[in-house]
Amino acid sequence: MFGNKFDVNGKITKALRHYHPPDILVCAAGGTPNQVGFLADIPPEALTSCMESNYYTTIFAVQCCLKLWLVAPQTPTPRHIILASSAAAFLGLPGYIAYTPTKVAIRALADTLRQELLLYGKDAFRVHCCFPGAFLSESFSQGQEHKPGLTKVLEGTSMPQEALERKIPGAREVARKIVWGLEKGKTYISVDFRTELLLNNMRGPSPRFWTVCDFFLGLLASLVWWIVRIDFDRKTTRYGAARNPRDSRV
């Protein structure tokens, strides 16, 4: 995808200049339809393509847009950068070995970028990062076809398509929740309670929104997720013992 990264940067910059640098940059490209699987089973190309489609598409676009912003007249209100990570950034599930590190990288980019942009003034830029879980899309349906059975069991998607459509939210519903979080001024935006727990379980130095509430959610998550992790470990061990080693998607 990015055989010549300098050429890619040039094309991104050209497009941004042609349409005028935006005041809001949304980086939502990515996915993992063809890169799911266990590390011993997927080809090396799946690792590189996943990093390119999920991380490089984001950081190159941010870099090009930022350079244009820095030479453009300052706006009366902050410009916004909205990055799309994933609930996977807080939880390592077998089968997402190529995908999860790229979404962790997006979270690290958001943390680092938020502080780095203070170099240009406290009110010049705002960085936001959203963490959606699974939602109905073409990419999700394609991923279901390649996803190991263990991954489906752990994430709760081991069910017929009709049941999935009742359980999993659609893209529009997820988008509305993200926009709601942006309107509230959140830096980190989750779209469901489980992801909110996971986020606060791994908050670290990242900015909080409801400080006291987030603190207690973190305590709750540390207790709950200890039990969930043990359950996941046991299911993974049983799956490994029962499956045919010649076929990783039994």
- Model confidence pLDDT, tens digit, residues 60-104: 999 999 999 998 888 899 999 999 999 999 988 999 999 999 999
Question: CA 215: distance to chain centroid?
Answer: 22
**Helix count and strand count (H, E) for the chain:** 10, 4
DSSP structural state of residue 191 = S
Q: Which of 138, 137, 157 is nearest to 96 (CA)?
A: 157
Complete domains list, the chain, with CATH: 6-195 (3.40.50.720)
| Mean confidence (pLDDT) of the chain | 87
Q: H/E element holding 79?
A: strand 79-84
Tokens of 163: 């049941």
pLDDT of residue 136: 83
- Contact at 8 Å (CB) between 201 and 218? yes
pLDDT by residue (tens digit) across 165-220?
888 888 999 999 999 999 999 999 999 888 888 888 877 777 777 778 888 888 88
Tokens of 123: 């009110």
CA distance 104 to 112: 12
Does residue 246 register a pLDDT over 90?
no
pLDDT of residue 125: 95
pLDDT of residue 82: 97
Q: Go through the chain and tell me how many residues it has.
A: 250
CA distance 1 to 195: 31
